[in-house]
A and B are shown apart, each in its own frame.
Chain A
Amino acid sequence: MAENAVAEEIDLSKIDKICEKYKGKKGSTIPVLQAVQEEYGYLSKEMLERMGDVLNVSPHELYGVLTFYAQFYTSPRGKYVIRVCRGTACHVKGSGRISEVVKEEFGIGNGETTDDYGFTLEEVSCIGACGMAPVIMVNDKTHGNLTPEKSREIFREYAKKLKEEE
């Protein structure tokens, strides 16, 4: 599993500018975490410390909030994030198998990232596209009416795309 190997080389100075915008504003903890994560893709211990300094709040407080919500990440994620919907409609139409196909293709389980930071698997509760269940999202693109085989083709296409981009 990929760990924080790249953390030291990251330029943290952008954090200051982002945080200034939110400083002193009530209710800004979640938006500021979202903004910093938007920039870096995840939130490391070092980033939280820097944020705490600028915002004048304890990094522990920030950590407490971020661990509560599913959409904050404490380690880097894949270039392509595969969200497999595990909502009710998708469940009754067999979405469990789609997660298995991800495992078969990339060797990753829920919440895991491939070693080359290519793909992350995330099982999500419901992406609200039940009319076309079972559904997955790869980054912002939604793919619906899947079968295990159709999903396998889609994953292989993304794998091909990833190779070409390198």
Chain B
Amino acid sequence: MSAVKTDIIEVHICTGTAGVASGAFEVMDAFNEVFKSKNVPAIVKERECKVKKTGCRGLCERDVLVDIYLPGEEVATYEHVTPDKVQTIVDEHIGGGEPVKKWAAKKSYYDFYKLQKRYVLKDCGVVDPEDIDDYIQLGGYEAITKVVKEMSPEDVIEEVKKANLRGRGGGGFPSGLKWTFCRKSPGNHKYLVCNADEGDPGAFMDRSIIEGNPHDVIEGMLIAAYAIGCNEGYIYLRAEYPLAIARVKKALKVAEERGYLGDNILGTEFSFKLHLKEGAGAFVCGEETALLASIEGERGMPRPRPPFPAVKGLWQKPTNVNNVETYANLPMIIKNGSEWYSNIGTEKSKGTKIFALSGKVKSTGLVEVPMGITVRELIYDVGGGIPKKRKFKAVQMGGPSGGCLPEDLLDTPIDYDSLIAAGAMMGSGGVVVMDETNCMVNIAKFFLTFTQRESCGKCIPCRVGTKTMLDILERISEGNGREGDIELLESLAEDIRVSSLCGLGQTAPNPVLTTIRYFRDEYEAHIYDQKCPARECSELIEFVVKDERCKKCGICKKVCPVDAITWEKGQVAYIDKETCVKCRECIVNCPFNAID
């Protein structure tokens, strides 16, 4: 990290969704109040003090995160900041020059960033997402200026092809090639769509990019629109992200006022109108043809392809759809050149990928790593490993379309093709880590419940097939599994995969298939022994305290919400089955795994 160059004092506060939920605005108010009050160190009175809101910088779990920029000194970060700590930070650090060590970010904070290569997220957490001038000052809108003034549309496509950018929405289709299809389609009116309907449970990359740096996405869309020849565009953003919606609205308005959107952009012939479309809560709308139906105001049901959107898309016009992260990659490709870009990553997967790291991992949050890094490095070196000294069991990658990888596949490199070979997929980038207390049958059931609920019902294999699979998983987890159920699941999965209309159905069986592939013994334990080895399926738990393992600590009694546990100092706890509601609080909290 380099020393601060400006001569003003800056306080950067993370105001992403997690930051706000942890009280970022209260912390911001506290800094503003302290700076205005009379009771401040001399340096604060002498210099300009700026409190700036920034987007997500990744380590959401430590929010509220605050950076202090003092002239000539290295940036210092504080974690878990609350309003009552502000006066001390101002007095001791800004005034006295002594960082408040006990609240300063710890080693694990810096470890989190060590292996990361933050290119797309370079300015996320630095730039004020609601201030276009801040973005411009950091080099924003330089790429589109270069594009419209110095490059032909063909040049731009060529550059993106050379960079070998692949779609970040999941499939990994080469973006340059996709654009060529749309560019070559006949017609004067073409649409450009940004898929920001990030519905995968466990994914928040797109939300963070939009909340943290909305102008970057707009600039990326402008570059694509120019290259393809689109004159109108939509950002389809899910309604569950109110903060992102507010920031995009603001960014669109200001960008138009400044002449980056609208007619004759930057004084050239190029015109591009960009609208925001709010989703209304349907996962299937992340599928591109369903998304287009939804923009048109219909039920968001997928349409058969071909014709592909590049030929007949939105309102039957040629349309190009890419996701948020893909567009966000474009400004830096143009600025730094395709050669620079293609030096990052592996031979077939270039650049970086942003992941939402969550679940049973110490440092949860948003990470950007070069393609080719292993899953193990992602979880242990970036994420800091598994908390509570528990054992790693599996990692779920790629959301409801992806799969669960076991420990012996942790050295799989993260690139599109290796992950598919292992049975998972890049997907949009959700990475959920699970430990020994998570049941793999339960997780398969969880995903099937999701896809089954979100299935639009248009095609039978998906509508009926996922329901049948879910029924089987439910009876297995309740201890009523039958011999042959595993084979039945496998055969149903294959049928659904080959015969569903869209990606949702085709990939819905993946979580079931990979859990069977890598954790078959757990399915068998449920079916043949009526046991849940992870003790998560409550129908299969006895709720009995085992004498030999109980250390008589009494924690279970404290956490039991219905007072079903009797315990006295020096005695083994006892669970009264009549009162017990099988909530599993005791199991989750017992440090000694003493309850079966």
Candidates A26, A71, A128; contact of B207 at CB < 8 Å: A128
Nearest opposing residue in chain B for A25, CB measure: B297
CB atoms of B18 and A132 under 8 A apart: yes
Asked if B282 and A70 make an inter-chain contact with CB atoms under 8 angstroms apart, the answer reads yes
Cβ of B359 < 8 Å from any Cβ of A?
yes
In contact, B396 and A88 (Cβ under 8 angstroms): yes
Q: How large is the interface on A (under 10, 10 to 19, 20 to 34, 35 or more residues)?
A: 35 or more
B290 CB, min distance to chain A CBs, angstroms:
10
Using a Cβ cutoff of 8 Å, how many contacts connect chains A and B? 154
Interface residues of B in 1-44 (CB under 8 A from A): 17-18, 20-22
Q: A72-B280, A92-B434 are in contact. Are A131 and B296 (CB under 8 A)?
A: no
Contact A88-B456, Cβ < 8 Å, known A27-B297, A93-B359, A131-B364: no
Q: Mark B268-288, 1 if CB is under 8 A from A, else 0.
A: 000000000111111100000
- Cβ-defined contact, B588 with A28, below 8 A: no
**Within 8 Å CB of A127, what residues of B?**
17, 240
Decide if B283 touches A71 in the complex (CB within 8 Å).
no
Write the chain B residue with the least CB distance to A126. Answer: B201
Q: How far is the CA of A87 from the CA of B294 in the complex (A)?
A: 23
CB distance from B195 to the nearest CB of A (A): 15
- Using CB atoms, name the residue of chain B closest to A135: B21
Chain A nearest CB, measured from B132 CB (Å): 25
Confirm or deny: B369 has a beta carbon within 8 angstroms of a beta carbon on chain A.
no
- Give the contact stretch, choosing among A6-14, A140-148, A156-164: A140-148
Q: Is A29 interfacial (CB-CB < 8 Å)?
A: yes
Given A128-B203, A131-B365, A133-B359, A69-B585 contact (CB < 8 Å): no
- In the assembled complex, the Cα of A29 lies from the Cα of B300 at a distance in Å of 12
Q: Contacting A128 at CB < 8 Å: which of B63, B198, B584, B588?
A: B198
The reply to whether B18 and A129 contact each other, CB–CB distance below 8 Å, is yes
- Which residues of B357-372 have CB atoms within 8 Å of chain A's CB atoms? 358-360, 364-366
Chain B residue contacts of A128, Cβ below 8 A: 17, 198, 203-204, 207, 240-241
* Shortest Cβ distance from B240 into A: residue: A127
- In the complex, whether A81 has a CB less than 8 A from a CB of chain B is no
Query: In the complex, which residues of chain A have a beta carbon less than 8 angstroms from the beta carbon of B59?
Result: 131
Residue-by-residue, is B128-164 near A (CB-CB < 8 Å gives 1, otherwise 0)? 0000000000000000000000000000000000000
Inter-chain CA distance A136–B26, complex, in Å, is 20
Determine if A125 and B21 form an interchain contact, defined as CB atoms under 8 angstroms apart.
no
Is B278 within 8 A of A27, CB to CB? no
Shortest distance from the beta carbon of B259 to any chain A beta carbon, whole Å: 26
Q: Which of B22, B200, B297 contacts A29 (CB 8 A)?
A: B297
Instruction: Indicate with 1 or 0, residue by residue over A82-119, a CB within 8 angstroms of chain B CB atoms.
Output: 00001111011110010010001000000000000000
CB-CB nearest 7 A-B residue pairs: A131-B60, A70-B281, A29-B297, A87-B201, A69-B280, A142-B21, A130-B358
14 of the cross-chain contacts (CB-CB < 8 Å) are A27-B315, A31-B278, A65-B298, A68-B282, A69-B280, A71-B280, A88-B359, A91-B446, A127-B17, A130-B364, A140-B242, A142-B18, A143-B21, A144-B18
